[in-house]
Amino acid sequence: MKLTHFDEEGKARMVDVSGKPPTSREAVAGGSISMKPGTIRLIKDRQISKGDVLGVARVAGIMAAKRTPELIPMCHPLNISSVNIAFDIDERESTITIKTTVKMTGQTGVEMEALTATAVAALTIYDMCKAVDKEMVISNITLLEKRGGKSGEFKRRLKDEG
């Protein structure tokens, strides 16, 4: 296994993808934010004073996916064709699960864009709700799936799948 963001002398570099053929790329990332039951109810009932928490978090995540190369130094600027962010509210566990899917056709993958979008969506939820709940916990930001490119398909196994 070789790290691709270092040259022969160990210096950081942006990977040269100019010789790679463009292929269809897709990445799915997930994450969660846990909070007090009352905070979940306020979000669900749209009673947070800053506005529609999940609507704003969705837009923030989409913007973050498009701006990933400005945040992560070795990421390539990409012509993203689609970003979809879904939220699942689990009132019993007081958790919101975030699932982000990013698609494009190009010479490099969109894993970082999906992960960044998920992280920023979670951070936006935190920002919009921190006045009522400073104990929220953002966790499990992870790549769930990826398709396309030289390395092919990846799908994370869930713990109960062995």
Provide the domain limits for residue 109: 23-148
Determine which one of 45, 52, 90, 127 is catalytic: 127
Reported as a single tens digit per residue, the pLDDT across 99-111 is 999 999 999 999 9
Instruction: Kindly list the strands in the beta sheet with 95-106, ordered across the sheet, starting from the edge strand earlier in the chain.
Output: 82-90, 95-106, 23-34, 137-147, 154-155
Q: What pLDDT does 110 receive?
A: 96
Q: How far is CA 155 from CA 30, 76, 96, in A?
A: 12, 23, 22
Residue 127 appears among annotated catalytic residues: yes
Distance CA 55, CA 28 (A): 19
Residue 119 has pLDDT above 90, yes or no: yes
Reported as a single tens digit per residue, the pLDDT across 48-107 is 989 999 999 999 999 999 999 999 999 999 999 999 999 999 999 999 999 999 999 999
In a domain, 141, yes or no: yes
In a domain, 59, yes or no: yes
pLDDT, greater one: 22 or 12: 22
Our count of domains for the chain comes to 1
